[in-house]
Amino acid sequence: MDHTTPDAYTVRAAVALAVRAPSVHNSQPWQWHFSGRTVELRADPRRRLRHADPDGRDLLVSCGCALHHFTVAAAAMGWAAQVHRLPDPARPDLLARIDLVPHDTRDADIALAAAIPRRRSDRRRYAAGPLPVRDEIFLQKSASDRDAVLRIVTEAPRRSALTGAATEADGLHRADPDYEIELAAWSGRHYAPDGVPARNAVRAPVSPHELRVREFAGARLPDTAGPDGAALTVLATAGDTALDRLHAGEAASAVLLTATRLGLASCVYTEPFELTSTRALVRDCVLDGRLEPQLVIRVGHLPPGAPPLPATPRRPISEVLRPVAHPYGAGLPIPDQLRGR
């Protein structure tokens, strides 16, 4: 038995955890390929949201989240991931080539991987009260370890600039029929393997002082009572290249899994960054024009007694994991253990 190459079961199990990563509208815009100890993550451009995500930022950030989830899952299973990001300039869809090498799993690897199936995008209002300083430090470090900055927005003028940008983005999107049709196609369903299910979506607040959540179709999730006490954070990068966006996704995944491990609820929100004008507003008024905003992450505690949320479904593994195509064009045979779901 070869102990330096993961078997197909291990790769499949790690990808099954990787695809639990958050993605914009639960679009899951990725494909995974593997051969021996090498796994490739490729973007699936057919799943880009043409109207919500015209320049593909959310797609890259989503794939970055899945990339980080994969490395966390692999580490818990005894494989360290050596990641080569955007390794082939002629193939921009090839986002990462990952070589798996044997690794001594630590308790911290298992604790982080255990957060993957427990994490949810929780769009409800959170309880009042600041985050413990210790938690803030953990969250910020998980971003800074991945070339990103997690800015906790506390000052009133900055919070109202962020809230204003969100309200403006919502208004601009509402006036765009193509955006509305696309959103309706990707939300409000009950048992689809992708999209945001009705049971996970709450109605957006009407108060101009609260950060809007994206208004998905058919929202059926009852909101919690009281004003939203979530800590508002903006995850930002120094630049805005494809590599920066990939790093932003990896950092977002690290922040979200760390939050889950700390017992905190969380949710990503990117609507203001999908439009040039509202993105510029956040860059200038929240980040002093020095950093590129990539995601808002709300973090906090749910009010006592709030019922747990169901997990959002994912596409079957057989749709997203394939053996690497043979260099001469013919596909390698799919091992029996990778057929089916």
Ligand X SMILES: Cc1cc2nc3c(=O)[nH]c(=O)nc-3n(C[C@H](O)[C@H](O)[C@H](O)COP(=O)(O)O)c2cc1C
Among 40, 58, 109, 240, binds ligand X (CB under 6 A): 58
Residues that bind ligand X (rule: CB under 6 A) add up to a total of 21
CB of 167 to ligand X, least distance (A): 14
Q: Is 65 in the site for ligand X (CB under 6 A)?
A: yes
CB of 195 to ligand X, least distance (A): 8
Q: Which stretch binds ligand X (CB under 6 A): 21-29, 32-40, 102-110, 233-241?
A: 21-29
Q: Considering beta carbons, is residue 12 or 245 the nearer one to ligand X? A: 245
CB of 103 to ligand X, least distance (A): 26
Cα end-to-end span (Å), the chain:
26
Closest residue to ligand X using C-beta atoms = 22
Q: Considering beta carbons, is residue 8 or 198 the nearer one to ligand X? A: 198
CB of 172 to ligand X, least distance (A): 14
User: Helix/strand/coil (H, E, C) string of the chain?
Assistant: CCCCCCCHHHHHHHHHHHCCCCCHHHCCCEEEEEECCEEEEEECHHHCCCCCCCCCHHHHHHHHHHHHHHHHHHHHCCEEEEEEECCCCCCCCEEEEEEEEECCCCHHHHHHHHHCCCCCECCCCCCCCCCCHHHHHHHHHHHHCCCCEEEEECCHHHHHHHHHHHHHHHHHHHCCHHHHHHHHHCECCCCCCCCECHHHCCCCCCCCCCCCCCCCCCCCCCCCCCCCCCEEEEEEECCCCHHHHHHHHHHHHHHHHHHHHCCCEEEEECHHHHCHHHHHHHHHHCCCCCCEEEEEEEEECCCCCCCCCCCCCCCCHHHHEEECECCCCCECCCCHHHCCC
Q: Considering beta carbons, is residue 98 or 196 the nearer one to ligand X? A: 196
Q: Which residues between 216 and 245 bind ligand X (CB under 6 A)?
A: none
CB of 158 to ligand X, least distance (A): 19
Q: Considering beta carbons, is residue 22 or 300 the nearer one to ligand X? A: 22
Among 62, 140, 167, 233, binds ligand X (CB under 6 A): 62
Among 17, 24, 98, 265, binds ligand X (CB under 6 A): 24
Q: Considering beta carbons, is residue 123 or 146 the nearer one to ligand X? A: 123
Among 167, 250, 312, 321, binds ligand X (CB under 6 A): 312
Other Cβ atoms within 10 Å of 244 Cβ, number: 21
Q: Is 22 in the site for ligand X (CB under 6 A)?
A: yes
Among 61, 98, 143, 281, binds ligand X (CB under 6 A): 61
CB of 98 to ligand X, least distance (A): 19
Q: Which stretch binds ligand X (CB under 6 A): 134-142, 265-273, 275-283, 333-341?
A: 265-273
Q: Which residue has the tokens 């993957």?
A: 116
Strands 321-323 and 79-85: unpaired
CB of 312 to ligand X, least distance (A): 4
The CA-atom distances, in angstroms, between 158 and each of 139, 287, 297 are 20, 9, 15
Among 69, 97, 120, 124, binds ligand X (CB under 6 A): 120
| List of residues contacting ligand X (CB under 6 A) | 22-26, 58, 61-62, 65, 120-121, 123, 196, 213-214, 267-271, 312
